[in-house]
Amino acid sequence: MSDNYTSPFSQRYSSKEMQLIFSDDYKYSTWRKLWISLAKAQMKLGLPITKEQIDELEENKDNIDYDQVKLFEKQIRHDVMSHIKAYGLQCPKAKGIIHLGATSCFVTDNTDIIIMKTALILIRKKLVSVIKNLSDFALKYKDIPTLGFTHFQPAQLVTVGKRACLWIQDFCMDVDELEFVVDTLMMRGVKGTTGTQASFMSLFNDDENKVDELERLVCEDFGFDKAFNITGQTYSRKTDSRVLKSLSSIAQSAHKMGTDIRLLQGLKEIEEPFETNQVGSSAMAYKRNPMRSERICSLARYIITNAHNPEITASVQWLERTLDDSANRRLSIAEGFLATDGMLDILINITDNLVVNENVIKKHIREEIPFIATENILMESVKRGGDRQLLHEKIRQYSLIASKRVKEEGLDNNLLELISKDEVFSMNKEDLNNILNPSKYIGRSASQVEIYIKSIQNIFNKYYTGHIEVNLNV
């Protein structure tokens, strides 16, 4: 136990891999890699920087003295300059060329972009794993009839697999959005104090070609093929808004699926995995609460509301920059990713272990199919010479009687018995039982599942990396 506050994201809701991406070590080591990249490119383009200086920077890139940084920051109240001074103490030969021509946002903004791209790729990997699990589930249960629901009222039958495809389709749309965001991410680049590249023009004697090449070389070092053409001191904060919107989109899909599972678990039709020694309630020992789906919905709401932060931040940036973005971004970006990562880990666990209670599903179908079958009964009776309008009114009246019997008296549904006794329908119980086969009411559900899952194979070909084992902390 600790006397200090500890973020739930580091204790409960995110993986060690995602925490590493947003760790101080990853952030500040990336700063140093950017300074090394800048110095190497400047040396290559003719500035008086030596290999000995580059080697010294390389040798010390992972040797960050955080105590020294804190001491400097306490004195000068500037995080980037504190790291420059601490790095300079470790690299006396290269001290004078660290951060040459750059502004603080050269390291802070470019690092933020690098971190977000790395985190987005991890998010995409986990999201595709969820889709793969659901695809296997959908194919397995593609032709198992189940009650459809509209307004959470029993409706025409679908299949268990067909319903899962509704979830899959939403997540595939999220993959498309992630792909666009990742592919269009650009570094801030090497732009100088207010984005004019004036300092670099001075260093290279107004040679624009060399300034362009300098930026290209730095971007290339970090796997980017381009930088923003235009920036102020920062890259456009609309980038952050776009990135967190893609996380919000995933959260919307996850919340929908989590809610569906919670409803279905209430009906005892589908259940999330439940450990042998898991306790559902401190008082009601028999309970099996859908706690993982509830946690998905809880985290999803946080992610969705958190996405408003960069929207507001982007809208209030002044001219070339203002610093009121800093504290907000430090929180909203990191925690948006950590929450999404934790939510996806739970989704992977649930989708890999969903329990389908087929007998419960069949029971619910038996209870409702007499009502669902009335349209088919009507059509078959008309084929046998009946009057459509008269038959419709008869079915309406008998449905009311049967519904009252079920709701007010707690008895079974006797609609079919009432119909079979009425000669106007020209149908006996055997005729009616043939009409009641659930498989007659699922339409193209099974083939729709097969066709759809086949259509998304390109996602697996591009991004699926194999089964992901997740360790749920709670």
Read off the pTM: 0.91
Distance CA 123, CA 144 (A): 32
CATH of the structural domain 374-435, one choice from 3.40.50, 3.30.160, 1.10.40, 1.10.260: 1.10.40
Which mean pLDDT values do the consecutive 10-residue runs of the chain (474 residues) have? 75 90 96 98 97 97 95 94 96 96 96 98 97 98 96 94 98 98 96 95 97 97 96 94 98 98 96 66 59 96 96 92 90 96 96 96 91 85 90 89 87 84 84 87 96 97 86 62
**pLDDT score of 40:** 98
- Among candidate residues 7, 78, 202, 281, the one labeled active-site is 281
Determine whether 392 is an active site residue.
no
Closest CA to 159 of 175, 139, 174, 179: 139
**pLDDT score of 285:** 46
**pLDDT score of 425:** 85
Give the residue range(s) of CATH 1.10.275.10 domains in the chain.
12-97
**pLDDT score of 2:** 63
Give the residue range(s) of CATH 1.20.200.10 domains in the chain.
104-273+288-354
pLDDT tens, residue by residue, 148-176: 999 999 889 999 999 999 999 999 999 99
- Which CATH class for the 12-97 domain? mainly alpha
Long-range contacts of 54-61 (CB under 8 A, 24+ apart): 54/94, 56/91, 56/92, 56/93, 56/94, 57/32, 57/87, 57/91, 57/94, 57/98, 60/32, 60/87, 60/90, 60/91, 61/29, 61/32, 61/33, 61/36
- State the SS3 of the chain: CCCCCCCHHHHHHCCHHHHHHCCHHHHHHHHHHHHHHHHHHHHHCCCCCCHHHHHHHHHCCCCCCHHHHHHHHHHHCCHHHHHHHHHHHHCCCCHHHCCCCCCHHHHHHHHHHHHHHHHHHHHHHHHHHHHHHHHHHHHHCCCCEEEEEECCEEEEEEEHHHHHHHHHHHHHHHHHHHHHHHHHCCECCCCCCCCCCHHHHHHCCCCHHHHHHHHHHHHHHCCCCCECCCCCCCCCCHHHHHHHHHHHHHHHHHHHHHHHHHHHHHCCCEECCCCCCCCCCCCCCCCCCCHHHHHHHHHHHHHHHHCHHHHHHHHCCCCCCCHHHHHHHHHHHHHHHHHHHHHHHHHHHHHCCCEECHHHHHHHHHHHHHHHCHHHHHHHHHHCCCCHHHHHHHHHHHHHHHHHHHHHHCCCCCHHHHHHCCHHHCCCHHHHHHHCCHHHHCCCHHHHHHHHHHHCHHHHHHHCCCCCCCCCCC
Determine whether 447 is an active site residue.
no
CATH of the structural domain 104-273+288-354, one choice from 2.60.120.10, 1.10.10.60, 3.30.1330.10, 1.20.200.10: 1.20.200.10
pLDDT tens, residue by residue, 25-79: 999 999 999 999 999 999 999 999 999 999 999 999 999 999 999 999 999 999 9
CA distance readout (Å), 269 to 222, 266, 296, 304, 377: 49, 8, 19, 29, 27
154 beta partners: 149
Cβ of 84: how many Cβ atoms within 10 Å?
21
